[in-house]
Amino acid sequence: MKLVCTQNSLSTSLSLVSRAVATRPTHPVLANVLLVANAETQQVSLSAFDLSLGIQTTFAATVEAEGKLTLPAKLLTDIVSRLPEGDITLESGSDEDLSFLTTLTCSSGRYQVRGMSAEEFPELPTVTDGESLHLPSEAMLDGLRGALFAASADETKQVLTGVHLTLAAEELEFAATDGHRLSVVQTTNVDDEGNRAKNSTAEDAEALDVTIPAKALQELAKMLERQTGSSVAVKLDRNQVVFEWVDQRLTSRLLEGQYPNYRQLIPRQFTHQTTVDRRLFLSSLERIAVLADQKNNIVKLSVDGTNQAMSLSVDAPDVGSGEETIPAQITGEDMAIAFNVKYLLDGLKALNTTEIQLQFNTPTSPAILTPLGGLKMTYLVMPVQVRS
C-alpha cells in the first residue's frame, strides 16, 4: 500500500475516529485504527471500533497502491499531529510482510510504525433489514444539546445512561434522565425542503423508539457540528443504530431494557410561576455556587410576589453564606424551594433563550424550567428538602 495525503487530512481524521478506540482493549487490534486505501475512488477510510461504538471517516488522497492494515491509534495520532503541514507519504510492505511495518515520510523526516493485519479487525456493524430514515442534522443537534447533559453516569442503571429517541408524525423527541432531573426536547423532523423523515402513518410513527448510549451520541453531536445543513441517514434494528452522512459513519449498540415512562412525571398544572432573565439567573447562580460547592451544593430560591423578585441564598456552616436578589415576574404565593445548584446550572446553560420560566407547586414536588421562545424543551428538577 502506498498513498500521499495532507498532514491536516490525516491528523483530523485520526482525531475523529480515535474517540471510538477501546481504552481497555480485550484484543490488541482494538487499540488500532483500520486504514483502507482505495485506488479506484482515490480515497482513504479510517475506522475505529470498541465493540460498542464505531466511527468511520473518509478523506481524499493520492492512492498509488491500494491496500489495508491496522496501526496503533494513539502512537499514530501522536506522531501525525506533530508533523509539519504539507504532504505525507504513507507506505507499507506487502501482506507477506507479517511485521506490517509502515513508513511515514514528510518534509522533515520519516517514521516507521508496526501495525497488525486488517483481517483481525472486527467489521463495523451494518443494518440491512431494519428501519431506515433521514433526519435533519440541525434538529438532531438541537435535541442532543438539550438532552445529553441529563443522562445518568451510573453504569448500574444501564438504560438511564442513554438518550431515548422517539419519532412522531412531524416531531423528534429526545429524553434523558438520571433519576434526579429529566430533560425532554421536541424538534421537527421536517427538513429544509419540507420533507418529513417518515410518513405520518401509525406504523411509521413507531419506527424510532430506541435508547442510545449517551457516549455515542456525544460523539455524534461533535461530528454533526461540522456538518450543518445536511440530513443524517439513520438505520436501525433491534440491536444496532447506524448514522451516516457525507463521508462519515457512526455505529452504536442500543441499550436494552424498558425506558421509564417519563411523560407521566411532568406536572400539568402549577400554583407558582416565575419568569426571569436567563443570563441574570445563570450569572447569579455561578457566583453563589462558589459557596454552595464548599458544603452540599444546595441553593435556596425564595420568590417574593410583592416585590417581584427572586432571592438566591446559600448557607454553608463553618464556611460562610451568600445571597443575591434578581428581578422576576411572579405569580403565586411567596415560597422557598431548594435545589442542587449543579442541576440548575446545567439546565440554564442548555435552555439558551433570553428568558426562562420556572414553575412549581410545593417545596417538595418537581419543578419545571422551560425556555420562552426558541427550542421546545422541558427540564424537570427534583427539589432538595432542607430545614428552614
> pLDDT for 28-39, tens place per residue?
999 999 999 999
Residue 130: pLDDT over 50: yes
Angstrom distance (rounded) from CA 108 to CA 240: 44
Residue 179 backbone zone (phi > 0: left; psi -120 to 50: alpha; other: beta): left
SS3 at position 98? coil
Instruction: Give the count of beta carbons closer than 10 Å to the beta carbon of residue 355.
Output: 17
Q: Is residue 387 part of a domain?
A: no
Enumerate long-range contacts of 186-192, CB under 8 Å, 24 or more apart: 186/376, 186/377, 187/139, 187/140, 187/142, 187/143, 187/375, 187/376, 188/136, 188/139, 189/135, 189/136, 189/139, 190/136, 191/134, 191/136, 191/231, 192/136, 192/229
In this prediction the pTM is 0.89
Q: Is residue 125 part of a domain?
A: no
113 close to 24: Cβ distance less than 8 angstroms: no
pLDDT tens-digit map of 61-101: 999 999 999 999 999 999 999 999 999 999 998 766 677 89
Kindly provide the b/e burial profile for residues 167-188, where b requires at least 16 CB atoms within 10 angstroms of the residue's own CB.
bbeebbbbbbbbeebbbbbbbb
Q: Is residue 81 part of a domain?
A: yes
Q: How many domains does the chain have?
A: 3
Write down the pLDDT at residue 201: 36
Are 136 and 241 within one domain? yes
Write down the pLDDT at residue 388: 56
- CA–chain centroid gap for 317, Å, is 38
CATH number at residue 111: 3.10.150.10
Helices marked H in the chain:
7-17, 73-82, 137-147, 202-205, 214-224, 278-292, 341-351
Angstrom distance (rounded) from CA 285 to CA 42: 54
Query: Quick one: CA dihedral 329, 335, 338, 343, positive or negative?
Result: negative
What average pLDDT is seen over the chain? 90
Are 25 and 79 within one domain? yes
Cell of 184: 425532554
Q: Is residue 126 part of a domain?
A: no
Are 296 and 192 within one domain? no
Domain final residue, candidates 263, 292, 320 = 263
Are 26 and 97 within one domain? yes
- For a pLDDT cut of 70, what percent of the chain falls above it? 93
Domain final residue, candidates 222, 246, 263 = 263
Are 6 and 106 within one domain? yes
140 close to 165: Cβ distance less than 8 angstroms: no
Count of positions (residues) in the chain? 388
Are 195 and 251 within one domain? yes
- CA–chain centroid gap for 199, Å, is 27
Write down the pLDDT at residue 134: 86
Residue 356: pLDDT over 90: yes
Write down the pLDDT at residue 205: 43
Angstrom distance (rounded) from CA 372 to CA 355: 6
SS3 at position 20? helix
pLDDT tens-digit map of 286-319: 999 998 877 689 999 999 999 999 999 998 878 8
Q: Is residue 276 part of a domain?
A: yes
pLDDT band at 200 (very low <50, low <70, confident <90, very high): very low
Angstrom distance (rounded) from CA 292 to CA 287: 9
Are 178 and 151 within one domain? yes
Query: Quick one: CA dihedral 60, 63, 66, 67, positive or negative?
Result: negative
Structural domain span for residue 46: 2-120
Are 299 and 223 within one domain? no
Backbone angles phi, psi at 299, to 5 degrees: -120, 140
Q: Is residue 388 part of a domain?
A: no
Angstrom distance (rounded) from CA 117 to CA 196: 43
Domain final residue, candidates 98, 120, 142 = 120
Angstrom distance (rounded) from CA 335 to CA 321: 20
Residue 202: pLDDT over 70: no
Q: Is residue 44 part of a domain?
A: yes
Backbone angles phi, psi at 199, to 5 degrees: -70, 150
Q: Is residue 45 part of a domain?
A: yes
pLDDT tens-digit map of 230-257: 789 999 888 999 999 988 999 999 999 9
Residue 128: pLDDT over 80: yes
Query: How far is it between the farthest Cα atoms of the chain?
Result: 84
- For a pLDDT cut of 90, what percent of the chain falls above it? 76
Q: Which residues pair with 210 in a beta bridge?
A: 165
